[in-house]
Amino acid sequence: MVFAVVRMIPQAHAKLIKGEWDKKSFTGVRARRQDTGASSGWARSASTVAMVLQGAGMTVIACDPFLSPEVAKELRIESVSMDQLVARADVITLHTPLTEQTAT
């Protein structure tokens, strides 16, 4: 989904369904050198997403109060505040399990 957003695929698809082909309006941006932010839940799913995005040349930053510096270093991600995440990230993903604490 991150790649679809970066490359503007949903918008291009909607135009195509209407019978329009406006290729120049939907070039999107290259994924490489984009900052991707992730908030919370640095377990299996977020770690996998980080590896895929890093493989595409994206920088991954994270805001998670439970993310230890050791895990961040191992995953090659930078731990930042929520304000920094929102200011820097081109795309933000959310990886939060539904628990009593996250439900409200």
Could you tell me the two tokens for 31? Answer: 């994924």
- In order along its 104 residues, the chain shows pLDDT tens digits of 777 777 778 888 888 899 988 777 766 555 555 666 666 566 667 788 888 888 888 888 888 887 888 988 988 988 898 899 889 888 888 877 778 877 76
Q: Which domains does the chain have, with CATH numbers?
A: 1-29 (no CATH), 31-97 (3.40.50.720)
How many angstroms separate the CA atoms of 56 and 30, rounded?
A: 10
Say what the pLDDT of residue 83 is: 92
User: Around Cβ 12, how many Cβ atoms within 10 Å?
Assistant: 19
Q: Six-digit token pair at 61?
A: 């930053």
User: Looking at residue 99, what is its pLDDT?
Assistant: 81
Does the predicted TM-score (pTM) go above 0.75? Answer: no
